[in-house]
Amino acid sequence: MKLTLKVFRFNAETDYLPHYDTIEMEVDPKEVVLDLLNRIKWEHDGSFTYRRSCRHGICGSCAIKVNGRSTLACKERVVDMVDTFGTELILEPVSKKRAVKDMVVDKADFWQKYDKVIPWLVAEIDEHPKMENIIPPREAEKLEDADYCIQCGCCYYACPVVEVNEEYLGPAAFEKAYRFTADVRDHAKKDRLEIVDQLGQGVWDCVKCFECAEACPKHIDPIGKITKLHNQIFEEGVAKSNVATRHAVGFKRSIKKHGILDEGNLVLYSEGFGVFKHIPEALEMFKKGKIVLPWNMPKSKNLDEIKKLVDIASTVKF
Amino acid sequence: MSKLRYALYTGCTARESTPELLKSTLAIAKKLDIELVLLDEASCCGASHLQDFDPFLSLVLNARNICYAEKKDLDMVTICNTCQLNTAMTKHKLDSDPELKAKVNEKLEEVGLVYLGTSSVRHFLYALIEDYGLENLRDRVVKPLSHLNIAPFYGCHNIRPSELHHHFNRTKENPYNPTSLDELIKALEGNSVEYEHKNKCCGFHVDLQAPKTSNILTGNAIVDALDNNADVMVTPCPLCHLNLDVKQKAATKAVNRDLPNPMPILHLPQLIGLALGCTPQELGLQHHVTEVPA
């Protein structure tokens, strides 16, 4: 099979802008993307630079983007990439703006944010224990697959919020936070939850795009862990009353009253006095018939059922 | 072809801030002779925010919505990506976990309902493509859209997580290179615009707590479509529509671009309706904040 590879080339020490090399290559469909990287270096240009180590999808070094999709080069079969994108493959680093040389990126911000969630077990453990500090299987199940993260950064560099909000800790750090908040041996659960509860850096700034879930080569589902952190923030009484928490709680309030969501009231309830900044937009919407006035608010049929279910099935208080 | 019938879960937005979505959906269903039975009993899907607060309650409420489609012996269609996500996710959890299903049914029994799992849940877009068929749709076109460059904006919750959507929307839509809307645009004889942001996020879900993030993400998408010569954008999701249409000025300002002309944003059924010869009034084009030129 003949492929056209467009390869991102950049050297932060000498280049002002990156460029792309075009390489035609006869490829065995059984090869993985890492084989292509090797062959570019060995057969075309010895200065081509990329990270690699284990070749078994466990070290997380060789994360790159193929046609915009984050992946581990050693795990991804060429044939699957061709199925998805055709015979022209664009090879780029996981983050172009963090490129140092070719496929190699500077992961400093990734690690700084990772550090912020206290990514280790906080527990008073006897220095000379008589037995291992283990947890029963039922408790271990709560960690789900959160332990499998290899810090490759695929989710982090696929997250659109990381690109526009420098404070935002990102899916990998949240995933790691959950790994310990779900661990019964850990003594820093509340500290961690307070870190991820902060507006700006925390889970409330997640746009719920599922890019992280799609990008994770270990299928860990980081956004699933983000949702669990949201839940724990309420369960553990860490949640403070702010626009984000009231927004989540407002749905229950509104559903109990109307069945369907009262959009206007939700904004009012979430924002409090901050609602004033929405007035110009609300007026424009009103002119176009996009705002239902409170006395015209539709209600779901059989609303009594919904009210009853909200009463008997609620599991969380705020 | 026997007459297609579905239970339509409208979601809240189509009954409030995007009335044009419900109007245009019903208008094209009439033109295509598809029967849509409104699920007036349904409640809000929780929009992923109730799920952050009270996940069990959200399962019970979404299961109740599906119960009403089951009672009518119809498959459910949705017209909002986020409704599709939350309803499909509920169905996936209940159908794959008998213990959880029993717990949810214990609550539903208190109001005389039972969740069986017999109705499928699909976005109307995929029902049109699979059940009605693009060939049949092409045959019904009376006003081809060949004069328009149309940028499809897919919206996250119809394409990611891909495994869930492949199963429920019964498609192989690739989240990194989706094509269903492009193919539909071609069936209407329009020119579909290829641009990087077609499968990216609009940021709607953080509109309140992080408006800057939301505006930049929406602004990036509009500007990218414009730079690739789009005359109009189309989306199957009313939440994306709210950001792209209502917040267009703030969004383009957030990415430091003055648009020469505003970018009209159409709901999917509005675009189809134009090609089928519906009038602008029937499609509710007067409800847009960003004007749609005649």
CB contacts, 8 Å: B201 with chain A: 160, 207, 209, 211
* Consecutive H or E run containing B235: strand B232-235
Same domain, B96 and B154: no
First to last CA, chain A: 59
Mean local confidence (pLDDT), A77-94: 94
| Domain-embedded: residue B216 | yes
**What is the pLDDT confidence band of residue A125, given thresholds at 50, 70 and 90?**
confident
Q: Distance, in angstroms, between A41 CA and closest chain B CA?
A: 27
On the question of pLDDT at B294 being above 80, the answer is: no
Percent of chain A with pLDDT strictly greater than 90: 91
Who's near A291: CB < 8 A, 6+ residues apart?
A: A264, A282, A285, B16, B17
Q: How many domains does chain B fold into?
A: 2
| Domain-embedded: residue B290 | no
Average pLDDT along chain A: 95
Q: Across the beta sheet with B5-9, what order do the strands follow?
A: B35-38, B5-9, B76-78, B121-123
Q: How far apart are CA B59 and CA B50, in angstroms?
A: 10
Q: Distance, in angstroms, between A229 CA and closest chain B CA?
A: 8
A21: nearest Cα among A1, A39, A59, A48: A48
Please say whether the beta carbons of B240 and A275 come within 8 A: no
Domains of chain A with CATH codes? 2-105 (3.10.20.30), 108-235 (1.10.1060.10), 243-313 (no CATH)
Same domain, B269 and B139: yes
| Last-in-domain residue among B66, B91, B123 | B123
pLDDT of residue A105: 98
Composition of chain B by helix, strand, coil, percent to 5? 50, 10, 40
Residues 220-239 of B with CB under 8 A from A: none
| Last-in-domain residue among B123, B147, B176 | B123
Distances from the Cα of B246 to the Cα of A273, B265, B287, B290, angstroms: 22, 10, 10, 7
Same domain, B243 and B268: yes
Same domain, B111 and B186: no
Residue A259 token pair: 């069945």
Same domain, B86 and B219: no
- DSSP labels, A12-30: TTT-SS-EEEEEEEE--TT
CB contacts, 8 Å: B61 with chain A: 255, 306, 309-310, 313
- B98-110 pLDDT, tens digit each: 999 999 999 999 9
Average pLDDT along chain B: 97
**What is the pLDDT confidence band of residue B70, given thresholds at 50, 70 and 90?**
very high
| Domain-embedded: residue B293 | no
pLDDT of residue A29: 83
Residue at token pair 């081509």: A48
pLDDT of residue B73: 98
pLDDT of residue A143: 86
Q: Is A265 on the interface with B (CB under 8 A)?
A: no
Residue A247 token pair: 């927004």
Residue at token pair 């599906």: B66
Same domain, B65 and B152: no
Mean local confidence (pLDDT), A43-63: 97
Cis peptide leading into B269, omega within 30 of 0? no
Distances from the Cα of A210 to the Cα of A136, A181, A222, B22, B230, angstroms: 32, 22, 8, 27, 26
Same domain, B103 and B149: no
Backbone angles phi, psi at A19, to 5 degrees: -140, 170
Mean local confidence (pLDDT), A224-240: 97
**What is the pLDDT confidence band of residue A127, given thresholds at 50, 70 and 90?**
confident
On the question of pLDDT at A126 being above 90, the answer is: no
| Last-in-domain residue among B123, B144, B160 | B123
Same domain, B54 and B158: no
| Domain-embedded: residue B113 | yes
Q: How far apart are CA B191 and CA A291, in angstroms?
A: 34
Helix axes A171-181, A222-235, angle to 10 degrees: 50
Same domain, B173 and B233: yes
Same domain, B75 and B145: no
Please say whether the beta carbons of A278 and B21 come within 8 A: no
Q: Is A209 on the interface with B (CB under 8 A)?
A: yes
**In A46-153, which ranges are continuous DSSP H helix?**
78-85, 108-116, 137-140
Q: Is A204 on the interface with B (CB under 8 A)?
A: yes
Q: Distance, in angstroms, between B13 CA and closest chain A CA?
A: 8
pLDDT of residue A124: 86
Same domain, B64 and B180: no
Q: How far apart are CA B234 and CA B225, in angstroms?
A: 11
- Nearest by CB to residue B57, choosing from A67, A84, A314, is A314
> Residue B174: left if φ>0, alpha if ψ -120 to 50, beta else—which one?
beta
- DSSP labels, B224-264: HHHHTT-SEEEES-HHHHIIIIITHHHHHHHTT---SS---
Q: How far apart are CA A222 and CA B69, in angstroms?
A: 32
Number of H helices, E strands in chain B: 13, 8
| Domain-embedded: residue B21 | yes
CATH number at residue B57: 1.20.1050.140
Q: Distance, in angstroms, between B207 CA and closest chain A CA?
A: 9
Q: A93: helix, coil or strand?
A: strand
Q: How far apart are CA B84 and CA B66, in angstroms?
A: 11
CB contacts, 8 Å: A242 with chain B: 209
Give the pairing type, strands B121-123 and B265-267: unpaired
On the question of pLDDT at A142 being above 90, the answer is: no
Please say whether the beta carbons of A84 and B177 come within 8 A: yes
Please say whether the beta carbons of B203 and B215 come within 8 A: yes
Largest CA distance in chain B: 58
- Nearest by CB to residue A207, choosing from B12, B110, B206, is B206
Write the burial class of residue B167 (CB in 10 Å: 0-12 exposed, 13-18 middle, 19+ buried): middle
CB contact under 8 A, B43 and A255: yes
Mean local confidence (pLDDT), B88-95: 98
pLDDT of residue B47: 97
Give the pairing type, strands B121-123 and B76-78: parallel
Percent of chain A with pLDDT strictly greater than 70: 100
Residues 75-134 of B with CB under 8 A from A: 107-108, 110-113
Q: Is A82 on the interface with B (CB under 8 A)?
A: no
pLDDT of residue A135: 87
Q: Is B21 on the interface with A (CB under 8 A)?
A: no
Who's near B176: CB < 8 A, 6+ residues apart?
A: A67, A68, A69, A84, A85, A214, B199
Residue A176 token pair: 């790691």
Q: Where are the beta strands (DSSP E) in B10-82?
A: 35-38, 76-78
Residue B244 token pair: 């792209």
| Domain-embedded: residue B288 | no
CB contact under 8 A, B107 and A309: yes
Mean local confidence (pLDDT), A176-184: 96
- Nearest by CB to residue B161, choosing from A161, A213, A306, is A213
| Domain-embedded: residue B87 | yes
Q: What is the DSSP letter of B80?
A: S
The b/e string for B30-43 (b: 16+ C-beta within 10 A; e otherwise) is: ebeebebeebbbbb
CB contact under 8 A, A255 and B46: yes
Q: What is the DSSP letter of B160?
A: S
* Consecutive H or E run containing B266: strand B265-267
**What is the pLDDT confidence band of residue B2, given thresholds at 50, 70 and 90?**
confident
Q: Distance, in angstroms, between A130 CA and closest chain B CA?
A: 39
CATH number at residue B169: 3.40.50.11810
Residue B258 token pair: 């003055």
pLDDT of residue A52: 97
Please say whether the beta carbons of A286 and A280 come within 8 A: no
Q: Is A317 on the interface with B (CB under 8 A)?
A: no
Instruction: Give the residue on B whose Cα is nearest the Cα of A267.
Output: B208
- A264-280 pLDDT, tens digit each: 999 999 999 999 999 99
pLDDT of residue A250: 96
Q: Is B208 on the interface with A (CB under 8 A)?
A: yes
- Domain of B20, in residue numbers: 5-123
Q: How far apart are CA A202 and CA A193, in angstroms?
A: 9
Q: A23: which strand partners?
A: A5
- A145-170 pLDDT, tens digit each: 999 999 999 999 999 999 999 999 99
CB contact under 8 A, B289 and A313: no
CB contact under 8 A, B210 and A291: no
On the question of pLDDT at B1 being above 80, the answer is: no
Same domain, B117 and B140: no
> Residue B255: left if φ>0, alpha if ψ -120 to 50, beta else—which one?
alpha
ipTM metric: 0.96
| Domain-embedded: residue B292 | no
